[in-house]
Amino acid sequence: MKKLGIAAFACVLAAPALSEEVDAETVSKIEAYLASIECQMDPDDIEVEEDGYDLDDVICKGGNQFDIKLDKDLNEVSRKAE
C-alpha cells in the first residue's frame, strides 16, 4: 500500500512535465500578436489549456506584467495584471 501511495505522489509531481507542447507555428503567431500589442514573453511560459492558451508573465510596454488567456483561435479572452 505504501508503494502505491509513493507512485501516485510521483505521478502528481510529474504531471507538469507531461503537459502538451506548443508547436512552433503557434508560438510564432502568439509572438506576432504580442508584438502587435507591444508585449513580449518567454515562449516557455505558454501553456496549452483545454480551451486555448495561457500566457504567463507577459511584459508589456511600460513594464506592466500580465497573465493573458487566448482562445484556440488566438483571440484574447482575458488579461490579468500581476
Domains contained in the chain, number: 1
CB 31 within 8 A of CB 42: no
What pTM, to 2 d.p., does this model score? 0.75
- The answer to whether 20 and 48 are in contact (CB under 8 A) is yes
Q: Is residue 47 part of a domain?
A: yes
Residue 3 in any domain: the answer is: no
User: Between 20 and 37, where is the model more confident?
Assistant: 37
For residue 14, the model assigns a pLDDT of: 46
Q: Where in the sequence is the domain holding 67, given as residue range(s)?
A: 21-81
- DSSP codes joined into one string, 52-72: EEEEEEEEETTS-EEEEEEET
- Please tell me which residue, 5 or 31, carries the higher pLDDT value: 31
Q: 3-class DSSP state for residue 76?
A: strand
Q: DSSP strand E in 9-51: where?
A: 39-40, 46-49
Residue 13: count other Cβ atoms within 10 Å of its Cβ.
8
